[in-house]
Amino acid sequence: MAEKIVEELKPFFEPKAVAIIGATDKKGKVGNVIFENFRMNKERGIFKGKIYPVNPKLDEIEGYKVYHDVKELPDDTDLAVIAIPAKFVPATMRDIAEKGIKAVIIITGGFGELGEEGKRMEQEILEIARANGIRVIGPNCVGVYVPDTGVDTVFLPEEKMDRPKSGPIAFVSQSGAFAAAMLDWAAGEDVGIGKMVSYGNKIDVDDADLMEYFIHDDEIKVVTFYIEGVKDGRKFMDAARKITKVKPVIALKSGRTEYGAKAASSHTGSLAGADTIYDAVFKQTGIIRAEDFEHMFDLAKAFAALGHKLPKGDRIGIITDGGGAGVMASDAVARFGLKMAELSDETIKFLKENFPPHAVAGNPTDVVGDTDAERYRIAIEAFTKDPNVDAIVIIVLFQVPLLEEEKIIEILADYQKKSDKPIVAVAMGGRKTDRYARMLEERGVPVYPTPERGVRAMAGLVRYAEYLRKVKGE
């Protein structure tokens, strides 16, 4: 099974040769943007495969020979991207089947989301695919983005939408617009995305297939989903139970309300179903449910950086140089179902012996506003050694005058590396703080702009660790 799903889906992510059906020289058209994405990535040396544009009315685009018909394509074509009107897609699928191409991305919309005729065409496409061993992503989607191999079927041009760097997060979205906006956002936030799949109406390749694939993808450490509805519940649950034992899965499920469910139905034809059922399914299968877009990527960032080092319990230690921020973090610990760690007597004694009298030795430990980096180091050293602390949230207000920015970054990165306890940082502020936060994240410490978001991300790590202990019978 493992080899089968990897073999079937690999051409979507690493094609030897891609045919772009509907490629055109008209700037801004979907078929032109997709062709240009591949062409530019080939010029950059990222896309290593061959590019075969297909259009019956053209002979050449940007120096590339244009094939007039699918049947003329070279035999090494292993991925077809379709960007032609919906009514022509079923006949094109028959040509693709005859040619022996086994992976197809249908960008085109106008199918099941529009009514019965669209559903009939989807069924016809699916029957052709099933009869010929073809896997299909779409229709009504933006397809696939893989920065490492240069696959980019997102039909929004680079001058309008930035592409993120490579990273250990996979993002799967039923909504193409959401997928595109997320990629743009991730690029701006410097969040690395290893693979993005937008599957639209998902007549064939679905959430479960992708979970099965990502189990075997060593480049991906955490999988995130935007879901409007699941068509095959049993298949979804079986795949989810398998992957969550290996790597974390985070789902943002929309259509929670009556109004949202109705909108999902008209968007991708999804049956959103009762939201309480999804809650139960996610809980049973170990999928972590995100409350919103921000929460999903806060969690993903924590898992990408710390997933190999999960908390052994739910007792949180907080270190801060701002009393108010420490109070906010303490409230968040209670709000997200965690516990404030009871520091050991040895820890309290050590802190008091090494701190000035006005610093607060407790949980939270407040190194106060005249702190330097060394005072933080003393506190972190004590917390990492304390058996009563399972995970540490460190709030750094970089604005305090005596704090050496590069030294505190070095200290946090060092303890993140050598301690077996996960550490997340919180840095509140503006442009200068953002710069230091990026430096910290480059050193492996996830950073959040508020105490609540930092603690909520840590809560995701705690819940996933609890799930793993439960399924492993520890």
Looking at residues 204-222, what average pLDDT do you find? 97
Q: Which pLDDT band holds residue 112 (cuts at 50, 70, 90)? A: confident
Both tokens of 340, joined, read: 């404030």
d(C-alpha 365, C-alpha 367), whole Å: 6
Which range (20-34, 151-165, 185-199, 264-278) has the least confidence? Answer: 264-278
Least confident of 151-160, 202-211, 264-273, 317-326: 264-273
- Percent of the chain at pLDDT > 70 equals 95
At 275-288, the pLDDT tens digits run 888 889 999 999 99
Report the CATH number of the 309-472 domain. 3.40.50.261
In this prediction, residue 267 carries a pLDDT of: 54
Give me the pLDDT at residue 231, please.
84
Domain ranges of the chain: 309-472
Name the band, by pLDDT with cuts 50, 70 and 90, for residue 454: very high
Which pLDDT does position 277 carry in this prediction? 86
CA distances from 249 to 98, 222, 387 (A): 38, 6, 29
User: Confidence band (pLDDT; 50, 70, 90) for 266?
Assistant: low
- Average pLDDT, whole number, for the chain? 94
Can you state the angle between helices 233-243 and 207-215, rounded to 10 degrees?
20
Concatenated DSSP letters of 421-438: S-EEEE---SHHHHHHHH
What is the arithmetic mean of pLDDT over 169-180? 93
pLDDT digits (tens, 9 = 90+) for 122-135: 999 999 999 999 99
Segment 415-431, tens digit of pLDDT:
999 999 999 999 999 99
pLDDT for residue 268: 54
Q: What is the pLDDT of residue 206?
A: 95
Token pair recorded at residue 160: 């309008």
Residue 308 in this model has a pLDDT that exceeds 90: no
Q: In this model, does residue 387 exceed pLDDT 70?
A: yes
In percent, how much of the chain has pLDDT > 90?
Answer: 88
Task: Report the 10 Å Cβ neighbour count for 150.
Answer: 22
CB 17 within 8 A of CB 74: yes
CA distance 303 to 18: 33
Q: For residue range 47-101, what is the model confidence (pLDDT) as tens digits?
A: 999 999 999 999 999 999 999 999 999 999 999 999 999 999 999 999 999 999 9
Instruction: Decide if pLDDT at 258 tops 70.
Output: no
Q: Contact at 8 Å (CB) between 104 and 128?
A: no
pLDDT at 436: 97
Distance separating alpha carbons of residues 195 and 146, to the nearest angstrom: 5
- Signed CA dihedral, 138, 144, 149, 155: sign only: positive
Task: List all residues 6 or more positions away from 355 whose beta carbon is below 8 Å from its beta carbon.
Answer: 361, 367, 375, 378
Q: Is a pLDDT exceeding 70 seen at residue 394?
A: yes
Average pLDDT over residues 237-249: 97
8 A C-beta contact, residue 423 and residue 455: no
Closest Cα partner for 165 from 134, 129, 189? 189
